[in-house]
Amino acid sequence: HTAMALSCGNTIVHKPAETSPLSALAVCKLAQEAGIPEGVLNVVPGYGETAGQALCRNPKVGKITFTGDTKTGVEIMKTTSENLVPVSMELGGKSPCIVFPDADMDVAVNITQMGTFANAGQVCCASTRIFVHDSVYDEFVEKTIAATKQRKIGDNLGAEVVDQGPQQNKEQFNKVLQFLERGQEQGADLLAGGHRLNDVGNFVETTVFGNVRDDMDIARYEIFGPSMQILRFDDDVKSGDIDSVVRRANDTRYGLAAGVVTNDTNIIAKCRKQLQAGSIWVNCWNAFFVQAPFGGVKHSGFGRIGGHYTIDEYTNTKVQTQMIL
């Protein structure tokens, strides 16, 4: 977002999350070394209720863009409304991925492993709800468990290559563990993981739940951790009737991303039209391109970044009318 806003000719005041300010400060230092003039890119670390609120209330700020959780996004909108400042939001998600019977199960497992567990599940568009057709459910689950147990967890800044690092902070770590406990209490099948790893650090086992119901908390709320929820569906796919699974996939307040694993062009066309999300990924996940817009619908936010949509977000349209004398 910062690079795109700069490219449109704006000056930036960036307030990073209070738990992760160092990377933003490092980028600011690199910008100085690259020759960006002082005052063009600024970093103000601090807490949301102080530094964040001050920025949102400052009448000199012409645009607010926020990436984070939906609750904070709502508070930012309330505050910025005092000055009628335009905002764009990239917020939470509970993204569905639908695995149809014709899918290559090895491909489906690879896609969902990456889509769910990348960055220890700390991705707003993570594929945390996996809908799998009854006819291939057992095969998908068996291969998912095997792949999950192969994942290596550890310090991703160390010398050894790992697949998954820690949760970003202690509060988030505890929140993830609470969701994992709740999933077991509400009757989901714990197929892998489900607990903290070791007694040092914020490491959580890579977790897979099976036979998850739509009304379970782990299927309703954003966990933001390494937890995959697998749900069954039994639509008569051969007849083209997929209305039920699409309705269930859309039964969430979020709408950042959604995906399907299939080679059936009719199913792809129907899902592309009916799934309520800003990005629809077919036989892939986390497919980002600078030329393509990215953003969400519903409680996942609004506004699009990427391609020419960026210009609309970070500039104001101005009309000049001139009479020739």
Please state, in angstroms and rounded to a whole number, the distance separating the CA atoms of residues 238 and 134: 13
Element (H, E) at 312: helix 309-314
- Beta strands 257-261 and 207-210, pairing class: unpaired
Residue 150 to residue 144: CA distance in whole angstroms? 10
Active-site option among 56, 90, 222, 271: 90
90 is catalytic: yes
Q: CB of 230 within 8 A of CB of 211?
A: yes
How close are the terminal C-alpha atoms of the chain, in Å?
Answer: 44
Write down the catalytic residue from 56, 75, 82, 124: 124
Clarify whether 124 is annotated catalytic. Answer: yes
CA distances from 230 to 152, 185, 213, 306 (A): 21, 16, 9, 31
Degrees to nearest 5, angle at CA 88 with 82 and 92: 110
| Other Cβ atoms within 10 Å of 153 Cβ, number | 20
Whether residue 115 contacts residue 282, with contact meaning beta carbons closer than 8 Å, is answered with no
- Residues β-bridged to residue 282: 260
Strand 87-90 to strand 301-302: parallel, antiparallel, or no bridges (unpaired)?
Answer: antiparallel
Q: Which residues are catalytic?
A: 90, 124
